[in-house]
Amino acid sequence: MQILADIIASLPDGEVENVFIGLHWTAVVVRTGCERRCGLAATLREEHGKIGKPDVPDAGNLTRFTALQLAQFVLTSKGALGSIGMAAINALLPQFPDSWIDCNANEMILKYGKNKRVALIGHFSFVDDLRSKLDSLTVLEQKPQSGDLPAEAAPEILPMADVVAITGMTLTNHTLEGLLALCSPSALVMILGPSTPLSPLLFDRGVNLLSGVVVTEPDPVIRALMEGANFRQIRRVGARLVTMVRDKTVFNLDYPD
């Protein structure tokens, strides 16, 4: 979790305007300086059995916390509180639009996975498209679907992969650092998905590409997620898919300036 701690330490604080936990996505809206920002993260839940332990103990009072206090939740919880923490991080992250490329993760994987051994951590909606176009794709998933391998196979698969694409949810569930340690030093490593923090600090940990989301229209996005929207629906009403690159020259990343 040191990666998360370092990212949080780099952030400014802000006032929490509201927290929204939808069926699929969690949003935190903050005000920092003169800006109003909305951060997203996948909604996760922990199993509490029949004890009845609340997923969010301070529900109804979250706006009493500062934004950085909410961000700290991701260090101590892998469930709904962790989702709140990751969404708060994504809301607070300084924005560097000059470093963003309008390109989604699917396109990146297809571009740099051609004739390579590709490992994908997380079963994304575009998996079938990747399987039809890539020569070698292995999908690792905590809840494997048809054609996937269980997440426990990572020590066998990742060291041999030329391209490794890891869901941003691994930050929220505290598995990212272990996965990065398994990757070959020569592999192109990317983190992808709406939970992904667009923080250049991740480039210091061997990550080459960050494919995440910037919320451009907070209000319609919040309305949609609170009504159970999936990400495709959220994207249509106000989210931008962007990619940040560590070094365009290392892997001949010929992106437009």
Q: What residue segments make up the domains of the chain, in order of their start?
A: 2-95, 98-215+237-245
- Render pLDDT for 76-114 as a digit per residue (tens, 0 to 9): 988 999 999 999 999 999 988 888 999 889 999 999 999
Q: Which of 146, 198, 205, 126 minimizes the C-alpha distance to 168?
A: 198
Cβ atoms within 10 A of the Cβ of 235, count? Answer: 17
Q: What is the CATH number of domain 98-215+237-245?
A: 3.40.50.11590
Q: Are 139 and 147 in contact (CB under 8 A)?
A: yes
Between 143 and 65, whose confidence is greater?
Answer: 65
Q: End-to-end distance of the chain based on CA atoms, in angstroms? A: 33
CATH fit for domain 2-95, picks 3.40.50.1860, 1.10.10.1100, 3.40.10.10, 3.30.390.100 = 3.30.390.100
Residue 235: partners with Cβ closer than 8 Å, 6 or more residues away:
213, 241
- Render pLDDT for 49-58 as a digit per residue (tens, 0 to 9): 556 788 899 9
Q: Which of 167, 172, 195, 159 minimizes the C-alpha distance to 109?
A: 167
- Render pLDDT for 113-139 as a digit per residue (tens, 0 to 9): 999 999 999 999 999 999 999 999 999
pLDDT of 224 reads: 98
